[in-house]
Amino acid sequence: MRTLILGGARSGKSRHAEALAAAHAGPVVYLAT
């Protein structure tokens, strides 16, 4: 699964991405820029 999360500064992108990663059963690669 590949997911792109977009949004403004301080919009909760990282929190949302971490929640998705925790719910995913497979291997996870997390890239934050």
Cα 31 from chain centre: 8
- Is the pLDDT confidence value at 33 over 90? no
pLDDT digits (tens, 9 = 90+) for 3-32: 999 999 999 999 999 999 999 988 999 888
What pLDDT is stored for residue 8 in this prediction?
A: 95
Q: What is the DSSP string of 14-31?
A: HHHHHHHHHH--S-----
What pLDDT is stored for residue 30 in this prediction?
A: 86
SS3 of residue 3 by DSSP: coil
